Structure 1
């Protein structure tokens, strides 16, 4: 298993490179609806919704439909969350892109039972330290229209090992509608709080898979209804760049003037 070795100096440089060079050159917009730091019910019984503490252990579970997903969630977390975020990544990919370790990525080897156990133990250690962990429970990159969404039992094993954690569903929709550059819409749903110990890992995986599928279907349906690539309440995570058609229209107006 490959552990994360976060580097603040590397993150400072990479976050700028990721924002201004990688994402802005390839996407017209990237927005977040909802919050990666959702409010939680007051544990003292007052019924009041309070901001989540920075050290609240959280497991984010997200659909995995493109190579960009890790860079997108990294940017969203850096821009909007107070927590310390880590990402579980397939070991073969992490060996290929080892620099992700400096950003908080650690590995899991699904082909090794001992490797899986070691990764789960490391995940529990991160959560116990108040870290936030991102998981792609589908276990591989699949088309965003693939249905049903089926999770592997790993997320259930994680939550059973650390039942104090809350689970937050996050969906990503990629699309090209009005412009020649793709638009990315991310949506963070309401946190899921359960007595994880009372459920088998397969039951947890099935339940959370259904939660994510419903959220993704509703997310997609709203974008289709609006005929655009972002939701109206979306927070802009990158400064919008002009598409080719917009540049052409602006140039034509100048010529006409």
Structure 2
């Protein structure tokens, strides 16, 4: 590691002010940023710690939604959302290992937007609203590509509000070494239709599988997806699995998620 400034603001306003300094980088749970810094793949001059601020921590249910503070750990989401949004809690309970779940945060995960991370699938699959210090963004507008989001420089995620669906489930095929999703599928059924979000598969990051959404909105049953899978073009192909294999997994996991949700 190298020398850098560590800033621990007490409020979001203080954090926003600290982020205006040249070379500043927001620090959530540090599960991605700190290893990246150790490998010299990133070298921020100042780390602005977002943990410990009460206004960014907590899980609150009401008015048909579950709102999660950006600095809430995966472990807390797994525990506190179990009664109000079981599918979200189950997803959080299977991220990484206990050490990762005790440090990693929702805000850190979606700000980084790793193409194999689990939370982006829940956010997009739920049609959630991402709130920052400056504005609110729909999930469909928030994720813009591989490791890319609509966040402006210095903008900080403060909370995410998840509309609670009638039924939902997340299915993940683990990459066993990293516990990231080789492919993960989040399915959520709402009164006005079904949303299907896929992580781990696409070179463009998390995406909605529109054909599956249309089929399931007409008939919420795994049989409605019989023989269906997305095209392999644009899917990730690496030593862990070919693009064709990932496309096949998307179909399999979507059917499993529908069965489990039903």
Q: Identify the structure with the greater strand proportion.
A: 2
- Specify which structure has the higher proportion of helix: 1
TM (normalized to structure 1)?
0.31
Larger Rg, first or second structure (1 or 2): 1
